[in-house]
A = this chain, B = another copy of it.
Amino acid sequence: MIDDTAARAQVVGAADRLFYACGVQAVGMDAVRTEAGVSLKRIYRLFPSKDDLIVAVLERRREVWDAGIAATAERAATPREKLLAVFDFLDAWFREPDFRGCAFINFYGELSGGSEEVRRTVREQKEAFGAYVARLVDEAGAPASLAPQISILAEGAQTTAAIANTPDAAAHARAAAEALLADALD
């Protein structure tokens, strides 16, 4: 038998795959149990309700996102390049075969009529990303008003890529960000 930490990771990973691919409400807890190989009883000991599991999935997504953004930024030298690297990160993500849009946006659209905790978790993630962009904009010496514009480009690229089903949106958004940065920096 595996320990609770490993079981937790398996359950969250399985739920992430299923929820992201099929939508949250379309996936039953039985399907999570089968995919995770962890008994229902144990799932409910680790996560008292499905809502708790959804939040855990979003929190794991956030960690993966933050780590990916950080890794991409590390390969860039200047704040300006770190900002543009966000769009390279998106480009690589859009090309993954199972890309299906931003899970935060998808879950929010599906569940914001219900669980308050899901709403809050999604909002916190988007605020954190906005703050990250704002910090880089400041470090690049550009006016603060540029930050929400770049965040909106990143946001729009994600939904556009998901619906149009092509990765082109990343390049388009990057080009727009470059132009806005060039405008602001001279």
Contact = CB atoms under 8 A, between A and B. Distances in A.
Contact of A123 (B100, B151, B155, B164): B164
Contacts of A175: 145, 149
A54 to B, nearest CB: 13
Q: Count identical subunits in the complex.
A: 2
Interface stretch (A2-10, A29-37, A66-74, A103-111): A103-111
Interface in A33-61: none
Interface string A138-180: 0000000100110111111101101111001100110110011
Given A26-B113, A110-B106, A123 B163 contact: yes
Interface in A94-116: 100-101, 104-114
A179 B172 contact: no
Contact of A163 (B25, B105, B163, B164): B105
A157 B160 contact: no
Contact of A153 (B25, B113, B152, B163): B152
A14 interface: no
A109 B104 CA distance: 10
Contact of A112 (B25, B100, B104, B107): B100
Nearest to A148: B172
Q: Is the interface of A mostly helix, strand, loop or mixed?
A: helix
A135 interface: no
A151 B126 CA distance: 20
A84 interface: no
Contacts of A149: 153, 172-173, 175-176
Nearest to A105: B159
List the 3 closest A-B pairs by CB distance, nearest first.
A156-B156, A106-B109, A152-B156
21 contacts: A22-B113, A23-B111, A25-B110, A26-B113, A26-B114, A100-B113, A108-B162, A109-B109, A122-B163, A126-B160, A145-B172, A149-B172, A149-B175, A152-B156, A152-B160, A152-B176, A153-B156, A154-B156, A159-B159, A179-B179, A180-B180
